[in-house]
Amino acid sequence: MAKVTLPDGSILETADGTAAKQLAEQIGQGLTKAAIAARVNGQLVDLSTPVNGDVAVQIITLKDNQGLEIMRHSCAHIMAEAICSIWPDAKLVYGPIVEDGFYYDIDLDESIRPADFERIEKKMREIIKADKPFIRKEMSRDEALTKLASDKYKTDNIKHADSDVISFYSHGDDFEDLCRGPHLPSTGRVGSFKIMSVAGAYWHGDPTQKMLQRVYGTAWPTQKELDEYLRRLEEAKKRDHRVLGKQLDLFSFNKAGPGFAFIHAKGMIIWNAIVDFWRSVHDKYGYQQIQTPIILNEELWHRSGHWDNYKENMYFTDIDGTGYAIKPMNCPGLCLVYKTRQHSYREFPMRVAELGLVHRHEASGVMHGLFRVRQFTQDDAHIFCTPEQIEAEIIGVIELTFEIYRAFGFEDFRIELSTKPQKHIGSDEIWDTATNALKDALAHKTIEYKINEGDGAFYGPKIDFHIRDCLKRSWQLGTIQLDFSMPQRFGLVYTDKDNTEKTPVMIHRAVLGSFERFIGILIEHYGGNLPLWLTPEQVRVLAISEKSNDYAQIVLHKLKDAQLRCSMDLSNEKIGAKIAKAHSKKLSYMLVIGPKEAQSNTVNVRIRGDKETKTVQIDEFITIAKRKIVDKNIDLTF
């Protein structure tokens, strides 16, 4: 007899060997129709999998994220079958999911071109229409190796498999592929899909290997969701921060320094507004700020462990015959500051922030505007505390993080907790204390989170913060990491209550991650229409004709006195042209003035994105604008 515990805690008794699919049938008709896979004791499996004994079972549908992922991955197999039917010489390498879709790496001498996509899609539609079942077949590793002896790619995949039972899946009896699964019950369960692009990719990312063709696709439960996704992609193109950065004169890149951003004057206004705000919040939360050197000698990086674990991502230089490295992280420098004097438990928790300029090597192929750069400023901080203080400190960091995200208009957050990996340092007790402190802090704030078992750093568990932008794209920004390694490596100590020397707990944390990347995210989230407090040019005065130039000067002075970032346009152009020009710069407010406004001490306010104009007293306008800046109000209307 199988005793099945369902997600709501209810128990279903059924014969051993009952397939998950039949369980869905016992639960209800709606679920039977929607079911595509199951989670049995935490593991995702095909719907045809039998259950035995005491088990926890969850039926997976396309409403679940994993359900969507299983459909996308199944779609990769269908695409592979379609490609193999068109090009029988094609060798399949590897077909995983990616965000919003999937790809399959194909070894084929003939190039697959975008013009071929329609042909592949047509074939895929036929396979889906035939509604062929995905059938799983298992064999031992040795059998599988013999079966695929002539296929170097699949042989390699078997060697990388973590199970001794190797599984194959076929669609009906036509097409078979090595895969650990799970998949949809049948090909007909794929919703709406589209092949998106094809790009070159080396096998294992190794440039000495043959260049493969990576074909990307996307799949969604319905055509409506696919259309919505394609619309978001179009919208994202329009919001591309690299295009807007140029149009708004915010930053640039130059071949003189690939991956090193040049931040222009207007970009620096955004930057400094973020820094001012960041600093004020950190003051409020009791942080001190320091600054450590960018270049430090090799010996330090040996001691910190970066030499052994991070060398490939670092840059090196030589000063007076001695080897130096350019810092990829700020913590070792901070440890040296810590060691300049003695510390007592009375100083703890000690919160030290640094806007640290770090360099990390990225392959030239992955650099992408401000999103992926080789040099960036990290909004870094470290907290030294006692084990008992961990939970309260984590709560403090969570509060500070949310306060900062909200100020930028991000309300949709997601949190992930990563726990002890196989390879780790530190005792089980300290891992338990630290992991429980993280869990308790999240529980205290009644925050829902996802656990990534075994995904922590080797030196401690961590929490990651993700935000969702207006195009529903997810960005990992902040992180809180506990570290049991570095304080020991650097021999950091404090004197405890009982007068003995102890090693402090070290917490690494960042809220925005990289300033450069965060500014890129802001630009795309707002499509360049930044909130007033961040807009480089907040107000522009536009005179209808030169008769009003004197009054324009008076208005401009008043704006400047009120410390608003402003300019005026006294050119001979027609007012329509002046408005169009100001509009293209995405500034917040245009104040149009003519003789009527001069006489009544008013301004005609044109709000960005608003068709209506409004005439108000100049002092009233200033009061309103100032208030919106202080409140970090995203809405410009009044």
Instruction: List the catalytic residues.
Output: 331, 360, 378, 380, 382, 462, 508
x/- site string to Zn ion, residues 586 to 625, per CB under 5 A? ----------------------------------------
Q: How far is the CB of 329 from Zn ion (least distance, A)?
A: 5
User: Cα–chain-centroid distance for residue 60?
Assistant: 25
Q: What is the signed CA dihedral for 85, 88, 94, 95, rounded to 10 degrees?
A: -10
Q: How far is the CB of 180 from Zn ion (least distance, A)?
A: 7
Residue span binding Zn ion (CB under 5 A) among the ranges 18-26, 186-194, 427-435, 503-511: 503-511
3-state secondary structure of 45: strand
Q: What are phi and psi of 160, to 5 degrees?
A: -85, -10
Is 542 a binder of Zn ion (CB under 5 A)?
no
Is 397 a binder of Zn ion (CB under 5 A)?
no
How many C-beta atoms surround the C-beta of residue 363 within 10 A?
A: 11
Is 534 a binder of Zn ion (CB under 5 A)?
no
Number of residues forming the site for Zn ion (CB under 5 A): 3
Give the Cα separation of 414 and 463 in Å (integer): 10
Nearer to Zn ion by C-beta: 120 or 179? 179
- Sheet of 315-319, strand order: 295-297, 322-326, 315-319
Site for Zn ion in 135-154 (CB under 5 A): none
Give the Cα separation of 391 and 434 in Å (integer): 8
Give the Cα separation of 107 and 201 in Å (integer): 10
Nearer to Zn ion by C-beta: 94 or 518? 94
Give the Cα separation of 230 and 228 in Å (integer): 6
3-state secondary structure of 14: strand
Give the Cα separation of 169 and 136 in Å (integer): 5
Nearer to Zn ion by C-beta: 44 or 544? 44
Nearest residue to the partner Zn ion, using Cβ: 179
Q: How far is the CB of 135 from Zn ion (least distance, A)?
A: 12
Is 71 a binder of Zn ion (CB under 5 A)?
no
Nearer to Zn ion by C-beta: 358 or 559? 358
Q: How far is the CB of 303 from Zn ion (least distance, A)?
A: 15
Q: How far is the CB of 95 from Zn ion (least distance, A)?
A: 7
Residue span binding Zn ion (CB under 5 A) among the ranges 42-50, 58-66, 504-512, 606-614: 504-512
Nearer to Zn ion by C-beta: 380 or 469? 380
Give the Cα separation of 495 and 342 in Å (integer): 8
Nearer to Zn ion by C-beta: 92 or 269? 92
For residue 278, is it left (φ>0), alpha (ψ between -120 and 50) or beta? alpha
Q: How far is the CB of 223 from Zn ion (least distance, A)?
A: 24
CA angle centred on 161, ends 158 and 165, rounded to 5°: 85
Is 331 a binder of Zn ion (CB under 5 A)?
yes
The correct pick among 508, 509, 517, 558 for binding Zn ion (CB under 5 A) is 508
Nearer to Zn ion by C-beta: 478 or 531? 478
Q: How far is the CB of 337 from Zn ion (least distance, A)?
A: 13
Is 335 a binder of Zn ion (CB under 5 A)?
no
**Interacting residues of 168 by C-beta distance below 8 A, sequence separation 6+:** 136, 137, 138, 139, 144, 176, 177, 178, 179
**Interacting residues of 260 by C-beta distance below 8 A, sequence separation 6+:** 253, 373, 374, 375
Is 184 a binder of Zn ion (CB under 5 A)?
no
Is 327 a binder of Zn ion (CB under 5 A)?
no
Is 179 a binder of Zn ion (CB under 5 A)?
yes
CA angle centred on 602, ends 600 and 608, rounded to 5°: 155
Residue span binding Zn ion (CB under 5 A) among the ranges 193-201, 505-513, 583-591, 599-607: 505-513
- By CB under 5 A, name the binding residues for Zn ion: 179, 331, 508
